[in-house]
Each structure stands twice: as C-alpha cells, then as structure tokens.
Homo-oligomer: A and B are copies of this chain.
Amino acid sequence: MSDYNSIPAFIGVDWGTSKARFMLIASNGEVLDERTGPGIASLAGVDAIQAACCAGVGAWVLRHADIPILMCGMVGSNIGWRTAPYLMTPVGVDALARDPVRFEYQGRQLFIVPGVETMRLDGAPDLMRGEETQIFGALAEGKGLACLPGTHCKWATVSGGQITGFHTALTGELMALIGKHSILLNSRNAPHATASEAFTAGVQAIQSRPVGLETLLFTVRSLQIKGELSVASAADYLCGLCIGADVKSALTLYPHETAITLIGTPALTSLYRAALHMFGREAHVVNGNDAVVSGLTQIYMNSLVS
C-alpha cells in the first residue's frame, strides 16, 4: 500500500522558453515521476504545444484520469498555449492560485499560473512569467531578496509572503552576445562554472570603479593584448564583469535587503554567490527545479484543492 501522501495529486509543468519539465506530483510536493519536453520557443503554435503536452503527460493521464494539470512559465505568454494575465505587485501565492487561466483539453482541467508585473524603482514597467512560482517555492519564510540568475536575471523583493517589486537584468543574454559575436574573445570557450581567479578579477574591476560595464568591457581585450589575461581566462573575466555589474546595481537598488536567496542552476548560483560574497553579502542557495515544484505545490494546495 502506498503512503497517502504519495498518491499523485496533480501534474505540474514548468514550461519555459527553451524547455519543458512535466512532473507527476503528490500533495506533499514529492515528485513521483518526471520527464522533459521542448520549450515554447521551439513549438510553432497551439497544435504543436498540445501535442508536446500529450507526449509529456501521456502515460500519467491514462492511469490518473481525474488529476488536473497546473502549468507555469512562457506557456502562458502570447506565444504560449493560452495567455495568462500579469498580476500587479504586491502579489502573494493566494492571488496566483485565485486567478489562473482555466480551460479544458480532452476532458481534463488545465490551469496556467499568471505572470507578475511591477513598476520598477526607475519608473519603467517590468514583467516575469514562471519566476514568481520559483520565488514562492524558495522563500519559505515569505520575505527577503530573491535573485534568479539566467538569460534575464530577476531580482525580487518579498515581504509578508508577497512579491513587492522586482527588476530584470539582461546579464545572461549580454554575456552570451558578447561571448559569441564581439571582438573581445578570441577563444569562444564558455566561462567556468566556479569562481576562478579571472572571474574574481572581473568582479573586482567592477567593484573598484564608479563606472559601468560599457566602460570596462574593452579591458577584456586590452588585458589580453598586453599579456595580462590569458585567452583561456578571458571568458571568466568577462563573466565576472557582467555578474559583478548586475550584483552591484542590485545592491544599490536594494541596500537594506540582507536575506538573499539565489534560485537557479548550481553553476550560475555559485558564481552569483561568489560575487555577492565579494560585496559582503552571503546568500542562501535553492535549486531552481526544487523551487518550481514547491511553488506549484503551494499554488495547488492554496486553491485547486479547496
């Protein structure tokens, strides 16, 4: 006999731009089974998305006829399956659970978690879709500063169980663009996933001068020309400059947030953790996959069950 807690309660789907993760989840948040699928960006239209979903959840729906499917991420964008709204900050888990997009497909209930929008401290709007679920999954105490490194790095303030504000930094995309196309790197090697000496030097360069990334990037080239930076280390130094600039700006925006939680892949969170340490801040690290499961389970428990 199976433990009651291990009975499948819902199918959770973390469906982002570049990949999908389908999970059979128990009400205690245990992942009973799991498979991956293609991201929204590689699926042209709703028919392809439906087919990918069927492939992802196929075996489970036959065995568990009545459990719902709860999805978050770009699946709710205008290139996704159905467009889910953006809820304006402050937003709690209860609001996300109250207002999902609900629809039926092949007789099954589907739900897409809304995105979140905010007015940044600089007066511009900002948006997230998928990260809200990770944030609630990772910040168990419902307060602190969350940082989700990636192509578009999100920094979010959380207070009283609500996301109160956030901003997006283009760090990952900038690093990739510069690494791939600019004149700065001769060798197109990826940066190391640990904080090397060159990474540290990049963060220090940002830290020590009151100037921006655009003004320091050329040193990736000039240091190589003068023999002060090896071709093999240049990607690490560039990575240090980019992550250093991101962290410096974020700590300027949120100077009083001391409880910082990093959410993401081990490679990226370890580099951000090292950079934060150099700015005198320690960070708690949560695996991004675990955070999604926990967030989806909270949203499910908050409303779908009741």
Contacts and interface: CB of A to CB of B under 8 A. Distances in A.
Interface residues of A, number: 50
A183 interface: yes
A259 interface: no
B222 A126 contact: yes
A236 to B, nearest CB: 15
Interface in A178-236: 178, 180-184, 205, 208-219, 222-223, 225-226, 228
A237 to B, nearest CB: 10
A211 B249 contact: yes
Given A181-B177, A182-B177, A170 B217 contact: yes
A119 B22 CA distance: 54
Interface stretch (A28-36, A130-138, A240-248, A293-301): A240-248
A87 to B, nearest CB: 14
Nearest to A152: B218
A171 to B, nearest CB: 5
A168 B252 CA distance: 25
Given A181-B177, A213-B213, A126 B248 contact: no
Nearest to A124: B219
Contact of A218 (B121, B170, B209, B212): B170
B125 A169 contact: no
